[in-house]
Structure 1
């Protein structure tokens, strides 16, 4: 029998060399594969850009398995182009159209902020007052923190000390659901000192929904339609479900591509808006100082400036894609110094986004009926920002994250292949056997065994979760990463449980 440290060593070195060569080639391919197509021409005529965009969008939809998308472009405070691609319902082969009424999800927060600022303009509320003083039929829960510090300003800027809240509380449109107060009693809690830091919060904005109803004595949707939506010519938008919409509401699709029928939440302000891509484009135009001359004025210039003024620095994952948060708007400074404001939305089977540069009157709105769309949206935003010439927007960094994850997957896979090759070769030559004591350093076996068990435990936990943030940001890469980590875990466990044995041990085992 061949000795592991003799004739086998040159073979092992040959395997290692070939794997390293593959490693270098794969990294190059991964980096180039993560780059966006560079065919977009800066400053090109709108017709040229949209033809280029047509090609890009269809390619990206195929790459990320996006069923349908609707996009609108704003130039000089006008909607200059809009189009829809793909399907509203795959099974029925129903095409998505530009007038499709979609779930706007968290874009609702930006619209809700306008409703709150309308009350401020009328002198009915003050931004720095405690929200509790306006609530007569519901009270904030007891807390170690000062409840008077939960102000309207902090609720609008996601800095009131209230966390994200539960996800996935969905109901079919015609079913019974908890009341807003029941929802708030379950979800609203203070987990940190109000005003101390940014924390994206759905319950915080839904508390503003209750504020509007208590102050006005009106239903939230009735108030928002008559004071914000209709004045902005958003005639296909509502925070309430309308049965007449059914033919126009597309099917959503989750991370696995499964269809998601229309649903509603027990709240409206943070994510309940239904709208069209062109209606949200009209809303985006209204936020460009005074909008266009033909558009009614809902808020005065000072209120719009307040909404788009930084209130608190973003933190965590949000700091990767934005600098600050205003009142229902993320805010960033572009490479050329101009300010961009935006908001996105994610729901079960839906993703949406609008991005505008108020100073120039440029903007884009993107709707998709797929929960796999963040990389897709990031690529489209990169194309748009290249065309406008303002420089890359921070949300486009998600494409770099995709590339980075591909590199990590490639490196992990190739290192795993190297180790797996060594393990398989050792088994086939008889120099790896199940044994407790070996000549191999015990610490190496302990590390491999511990790492293999830990990775396997994390994977089991991950697949048991209903939702993982990374799968929304990097839907394709996250799946590949899971499989590669499973391969790595099994390889480490095999290496630890089937160690290299010495010739003496091998002789004893054979006898």
Structure 2
């Protein structure tokens, strides 16, 4: 009788578990119900207690050949790549080949001397002060769908004579640091970054369909292509970058599940290694690096991941975006739950979808969040363009030698406009005296400088990743 009772209890337990899982799966299906044979889509993987319990594709990997997305479809995961880059540096340190506190110039001597040393640790934690490579490339006239190689990116980084800030003093997201990290792996190991990661991470974990894409002409079987959709029409979002480090890990949800499981049951590294890797990054003064405060919760950085206490539970996560690819990898490590979302839909909001799915599995463990009421701030209205502003005063040619880039500023149809040989025209809107806003691929602030005679002598451009990039006016 005792054994019968135990058997019944076990059956009830598995039945309830199966029911809960089925409910979660149905909710995931509903979440992605808009994807079909006419759309791009998303691949989903859910890892629980070290097992990939759910894997499914929605929508199409290739709209030209009607190839559906599956759990084996390969996607570019964008900035989710960064945790593989930093992990590689931690492996090199474990092998005794580097110290995280080494001067970066020990390995990359062509990098300028900036006054204060930039260390490998600074690169890993977005505290180097280096101007972001994509920010710089766009100001140099590059399009994001150009062929972009590591050699070209290295040149533009090493040409910069100024930093955004003193190394170790601030946190500011910079892709440039991760290109340098990939280059350090190459120079220290004597192998390509791609080969090092394959030998030290991908192969030991059995990630057979994962690679670092460092050749834009390389053929990758089963990969998805990325798309945008405007007014109901699909269009390709071409990606020709072969510059790894900040991006360009190509993988599947099945392979990423093996990566997340390694954080719970390490094959590469050990428990102490993983714990150190998961620690918050710090500024030089010992304060933690902070991305933002949202919904009353602080988001910290840790080696290519962000950490936050989400409704009482700790989550390590990061999103990725490149061309039309979107990605989300979230690890509720204490709860042994990981959520993997890989998409080729430019409009996919990866982070929200990831947290929506977390609710499907962890709702009973989440704490209710108190409503955060932000004080109403009545921002002072900045002066708008005034009738006495003579836009002709700002006309001229402005050049930055470090970027080999020239903008021509002139009045076109009554509007101050910046033109560049390789970019679309940029219409500038006055924000305040001598300061304008516009879009140079990314939103930008353009400030003009005057001499003692009140003549315009230069302009400086600030965008998300580069501060005060100066262009001198040509005489």
Q: TM-score range by the shorter chain?
A: 0.5 to 0.7
2:323 corresponds to = 348
Higher-helix-fraction structure: 1
Alignment of 1:296-315 (within 5 A): 297-312=267-282, 313-315=288-290
How many residues align? The count is 361
2:463 corresponds to = none
1:339 corresponds to = 314
Name the CA shift for 1:393/1:304 in 2 (closer, same or farther; >3 Å).
farther
The separation in 1 between residues aligned to 2:259 and 2:307, in whole angstroms, is 17
Deviations 1:19-42 (A, max 9, x none): xxxxxxxxxxxxxxxxxxxxxx99
The separation in 2 between residues aligned to 1:272 and 1:281, in whole angstroms, is 18
Displacement of 1:187 after TM fit? Answer: 6.4
The separation in 1 between residues aligned to 2:128 and 2:149, in whole angstroms, is 30
Alignment of 1:110-509 (within 5 A): 110-135=83-108, 138-143=109-114, 145-146=115-116, 148=117, 150-166=118-134, 170=144, 178-179=151-152, 181-186=154-159, 190-240=163-213, 241=215, 245-254=219-228, 256=230, 259-260=235-236, 263-288=239-264, 290-291=265-266, 297-312=267-282, 313-315=288-290, 323-336=299-312, 338-374=313-349, 377-389=351-363, 390-391=365-366, 465-467=440-442
* Structure 1: gaps of 5 or more residues: 1-40, 292-296, 405-445, 470-511
Confirm or deny: 8 A CA contact 1:333 1:340 kept in the other structure: yes
Give the aligned CA root-mean-square deviation in angstroms. 3.9
Name the CA shift for 1:254/1:261 in 2 (closer, same or farther; >3 Å).
closer
Displacement of 1:269 after TM fit? Answer: 0.9
Displacement of 1:251 after TM fit? Answer: 1.8
The separation in 2 between residues aligned to 1:162 and 1:261, in whole angstroms, is 28
Displacement of 1:227 after TM fit? Answer: 0.7
2:455 corresponds to = none
The separation in 2 between residues aligned to 1:56 and 1:101, in whole angstroms, is 21
2:410 corresponds to = none
The separation in 1 between residues aligned to 2:161 and 2:47, in whole angstroms, is 37
The separation in 2 between residues aligned to 1:160 and 1:219, in whole angstroms, is 24
The separation in 1 between residues aligned to 2:172 and 2:200, in whole angstroms, is 28
TM-score where L is the length of structure 2: 0.66
The separation in 1 between residues aligned to 2:344 and 2:278, in whole angstroms, is 28
Name the CA shift for 1:163/1:118 in 2 (closer, same or farther; >3 Å).
same
Name the CA shift for 1:111/1:447 in 2 (closer, same or farther; >3 Å).
closer
Displacement of 1:184 after TM fit? Answer: 3.6
TM-score where L is the length of structure 1: 0.62
Q: Rg larger in 1 or in 2?
A: 1
2:23 corresponds to = 48
Higher-strand-fraction structure: 2
